[in-house]
């Protein structure tokens, strides 16, 4: 277990008239090497929760243990936790500030006091990992990059710190389909090739259905569902009730069901949806001709 969260509570602006409870006793585990997605409607507490995972918030109530470091203890070394867990914020490209891609990626390791020779190696490896060819991109000016490239450069900056866990907070927001593919491909590579544990926070259920093995659903500061994408996304009632909406393919299946088609709900992509409908039609044909005989 690389991250363990027990009974975590969080209140914003405590003691003021604007006091808002954001997390109400969250229990959550992230296993080493897995790709887990956290989904939830706006204001469900997702972004607050991930900030506990790299010690930007320290628990007042409850416990967060990251790779053996208990962040609820006063003695915790928060820098260790932040080195273990790299957090890629929403719109990370807004945080690029150096002139060139190479300098920006090198900035984090430099601040951490890594020797120059090693930094060079890390920059190359990180650019490689996000699919930006170092030969082409290392000396390129930041402003000459496309939106998707900028975002990948920002991700490389976090990777260069060599964390064990990467958290991506809404990594595809505002990108077009091509940019989205690039980022999802990057996340998949980081997970599969480098073996990093990935926590994917997203509002895009389509992305989650394609990427995650396990999905955790937050609503009003609590974990309300947890399981495989097939298990979670077919919980149409809960997903609607908490205001998250449905995966587009599940929406199609559920509309067909409402009109009397006896179809399973858990279709995660176009192929699966078409196959389920096709099989249903075939069975219907088989059934009716059988009845005629």
Partner 1 sequence: MLSDSSRVREVYLPTLDPFENVLLVLRRWEQLIKVENAGFAYNADSPNPIRALEAVSLEINKGEFVAIVGHNGSGKSTLAKHFNALLLPTEGDVWIDGINTKDKKRVWDIRQKVGMVFQNPDNQLVATVVEDDVAFGPENLGIPSEEIQRRTEEAMALMRLTEVRDKAPHMLSGGQKQRVAIAGILAMRSDYVVMDEPTSVLDPLGRLEVMESIRVLRREGITVILITHFMHETIEADQVIVMDGGRMVMSGSPREVFAQVDKLRSLSLDVPLVTQVAAKLAGMGLDVPPNVLSVEELMEYL
**Strand duo 20-30 + 69-70: pairing:** unpaired
Question: Per rule CB under 8 A, is residue 281 in the interface with partner 1?
Answer: yes
Question: Per rule CB under 8 A, is residue 92 in the interface with partner 1?
Answer: no
- Site residues for partner 1, 233-272, by CB under 8 A, read 243-246, 248-249, 251-252, 255-256, 259, 261, 270-271
> Rounded to the nearest whole angstrom, what is the least distance from the CB of residue 181 to partner 1 in the complex?
9
> Rounded to the nearest whole angstrom, what is the least distance from the CB of residue 215 to partner 1 in the complex?
14
Look up residue 218 and give its DSSP letter.
E
Name, in order, each residue with C-beta under 8 angstroms of 116's C-beta and a sequence gap of 6 or more.
Answer: none
Q: Cα separation of 201 and 170, whole Å?
A: 5
233 CB neighbour count, 10 Å cutoff:
26
Q: Mark out the alpha helices in the chain (DSSP H runs).
A: 46-53, 78-84, 101-111, 116-129, 134-137, 147-159, 177-192, 205-211, 229-233, 236-241, 248-258, 270-292
Question: Per rule CB under 8 A, is residue 216 in the interface with partner 1?
Answer: no
Measured in degrees and rounded to the nearest 5, phi and psi for residue 132 equal -105, 110
> Rounded to the nearest whole angstrom, what is the least distance from the CB of residue 173 to partner 1 in the complex?
5
- Binding letters toward partner 1, positions 160-199, x by CB under 8 A: ----------x--xxxxxxx--------------------
> Rounded to the nearest whole angstrom, what is the least distance from the CB of residue 18 to partner 1 in the complex?
8
Question: Considering beta carbons, is residue 90 or 139 the nearer one to partner 1?
Answer: 90
- Binding letters toward partner 1, positions 7-46, x by CB under 8 A: -----------x-x--------------------xxx---
Question: Considering beta carbons, is residue 1 or 144 the nearer one to partner 1?
Answer: 144
Contacts of 28-33 with C-beta under 8 Å, sequence gap 24+, read 28/3, 28/4, 28/216, 28/223, 29/1, 29/3, 29/4, 29/5, 30/1, 30/2, 30/3, 30/4, 30/165, 30/197, 30/199, 31/1, 31/2, 31/197, 32/1, 32/2, 32/164, 32/197, 33/195, 33/197
- Binding letters toward partner 1, positions 128-147, x by CB under 8 A: ------------------xx
> Rounded to the nearest whole angstrom, what is the least distance from the CB of residue 120 to partner 1 in the complex?
31
Measured in degrees and rounded to the nearest 5, phi and psi for residue 165 equal -125, 135
Question: Considering beta carbons, is residue 130 or 209 the nearer one to partner 1?
Answer: 209
Which residue ranges make up the site for partner 1 (CB under 8 A)? 18, 20, 41-43, 146-148, 170, 173-179, 203, 205, 243-246, 248-249, 251-252, 255-256, 259, 261, 270-271, 273-274, 277-278, 281
């Amino acid at each position: 277990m690389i991250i363990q969260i027990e009974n975590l509570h969080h209140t914003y602006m405590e003691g003021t008239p604007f006091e808002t409870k954001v997390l109400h006793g969250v229990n959550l585990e992230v296993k080493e090497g897995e790709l887990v997605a956290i989904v939830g409607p706006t204001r469900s507490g997702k972004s607050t929760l991930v900030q506990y995972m790299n010690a930007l918030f320290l628990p007042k109530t409850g416990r967060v243990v990251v790779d053996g470091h208990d962040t609820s203890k006063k003695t915790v070394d928060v820098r260790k936790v932040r080195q273990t867990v790299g957090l890629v914020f929403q719109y990370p490209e807004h945080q690029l500030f150096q002139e060139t891609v190479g300098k920006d990626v090198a900035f984090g390791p430099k601040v951490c006091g890594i020797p120059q020779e090693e930094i060079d190696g890390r920059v190359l490896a990180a650019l490689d990992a996000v699919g930006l060819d170092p030969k082409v991109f290392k000396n390129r000016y930041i402003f000459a990059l496309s939106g998707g490239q900028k975002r990948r450069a920002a991700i490389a900056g976090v990777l260069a710190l060599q964390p064990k866990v990467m958290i991506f907070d809404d990594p595809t927001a505002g990108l077009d389909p091509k940019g989205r593919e690039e980022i999802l491909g990057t996340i998949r590579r980081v997970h599969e090739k480098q073996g990093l544990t990935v926590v994917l926070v997203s509002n895009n259920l389509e992305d989650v259905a394609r990427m995650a093995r396990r999905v955790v659903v937050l609503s009003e500061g609590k974990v309300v569902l947890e399981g495989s994408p097939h298990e979670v996304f077919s919980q149409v009632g809960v997903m609607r009730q908490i205001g998250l909406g449905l995966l587009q393919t599940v929406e199609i299946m559920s509309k067909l069901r409402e009109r009397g088609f006896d179809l399973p709900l858990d279709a995660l992509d176009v192929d699966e949806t078409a196959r389920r409908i096709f099989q249903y039609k075939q069975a219907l044909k088989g059934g009716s001709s059988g009845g005629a005989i």
